[in-house]
Amino acid sequence: MFDPEVLPVIFAALMGLSILLYVVLDGFDLGVGLLFPFATPEERDRMIASIGPFWDANETWLVLAVGLLLVAFPAAHGTILTALYLPVAVMLVGLILRGVAFEFRAKAPLVHKPSWDFAFFAGSLMTALSQGFMLGMYIMGLEWSLGNVAFALLTAGALSVAYSFIGATWTILKADGALQLKAVAWSKGGIWGVVLGMGAVSLATPLVSPRIFDRWFGFPELLFLAPLPIMSGALIALLWVALRHLPTKTDQFAWFPFAGATGLMALGFAGMAYSFYPYVVPEKMTIYEAAASTESLTIILVGTFIVLPVILGYTILAYVIFRGKATALRYD
């Protein structure tokens, strides 16, 4: 029914789409949590209200991505998670802490609310740092060495700042007044974290292997990659100009910083996908070597065609229903 050579590519694309959607969607609500220390208690309530209808569903994309890795590329799943066991554990603890703090900050006595706000920030920070660390280790081939760990620590910090940037742009979109002004200032600082992160990954990636170096700088391969850094640079320039003129009286361009941040995430992800394809474990295991049997992939693909539209449907529905500015937080 399906070409055995095509099935691994389909699942790699589906897994990549899930990871990208997770980074963008859960990235902004992680970023909101990272910005908690810079906001007043009233502003924190407004920020929580802006992500309340979405944050739990956003994590569905992480579950889907890991699930696809497990069932479609079981050999790669074991290799990757074995190498990244510690940061994965830290990420899970952070996600649990975020979920608990999100609920308890609304139900605990007021005197304990600052503690739960700190717990929400701490959970967001643990999750962001661990994901950035895993990204760095993945780029460096999952090999634990002093140099690789140092690079992973750099990407951990850069991704955390990038998350705070997209969280700030989300706050520009969903807030108004003094909080929106603050979010613009946060975005102006955070955009440099995005530049640092993309620059670090761009410098390190072609040095990982001669194959990637040739794909980046060989000819005519260079022509296929060139549009990505050009578009990224242009988008960063447009974002900087837009942030200098926000907010406007009519608030008609409040959407652009978040759209631009999403575009940067997508371009960065496209660059990584171009660099590492067809490897699912860098320089060790291709998607064809790691793929499950054709029969298994066919059955899983049928199920994915049923589940994926449902997830996309309720995600889009939630964002349509709760569009517009976040209102005052109420629990009555």
pLDDT in tens, 1-37: 566 678 999 999 999 999 999 999 999 999 999 999 9
Cα radius of gyration rounded to whole Å, the chain: 20
- 329 domain-assigned: no
- 157 domain-assigned: yes
CA atoms of 165 and 187, how far apart (whole Å): 5
- 330 domain-assigned: no
pTM of the model: 0.91
Q: Indicate if the pLDDT at residue 202 is higher than 90.
A: no
Q: Phi, psi at residue 293, to the nearest 5°?
A: -65, 155
CA atoms of 205 and 312, how far apart (whole Å): 32
- 307 domain-assigned: yes
Tell me the residue range of the domain where 108 lies.
7-321
pLDDT value of position 330: 59
Confidence of residue 57 (pLDDT cuts 50, 70, 90): confident
Q: Percent of the chain at pLDDT above 70?
A: 97
Contacts of 104 (CB under 8 A, 6+ apart): 112, 116, 119
Q: Is 9 exposed, middle or buried (0-12, 13-18, 19+ CB in 10 A)?
A: middle
Q: Indicate if the pLDDT at residue 135 is higher than 70.
A: yes
Confidence of residue 127 (pLDDT cuts 50, 70, 90): very high
Task: List the beta bridge partners of residue 133.
Answer: none
Q: Is 237 helix (H, G, I), strand (E, B) or coil?
A: helix
Give the ranges where the chain is alpha helix by DSSP (H): 7-34, 41-51, 55-58, 60-72, 74-83, 85-107, 113-139, 146-174, 177-208, 210-217, 221-225, 227-244, 256-276, 287-290, 294-321
- 326 domain-assigned: no
Q: Choose the weakest-confidence range: 47-51, 162-166, 249-253.
A: 249-253
- Say which DSSP state 108 is in: S
CA quadruple 281, 20, 221, 215: dihedral sign:
negative
CA atoms of 298 and 210, how far apart (whole Å): 34
Tokens, residue 114: 């600052």
Q: Indicate if the pLDDT at residue 118 is higher than 80.
A: yes
- 136 domain-assigned: yes
Name the nearest CA neighbour of 198 among 224, 164, 171, 161: 161
pLDDT value of position 331: 53
253 and 246 in contact (C-beta within 8 Å)? yes
Q: Is 58 exposed, middle or buried (0-12, 13-18, 19+ CB in 10 A)?
A: buried
Overall domain count for the chain: 1
- 244 domain-assigned: yes
Work out the mean pLDDT of the chain and round it to a whole number: 89
- 2 domain-assigned: no
CA atoms of 72 and 152, how far apart (whole Å): 27
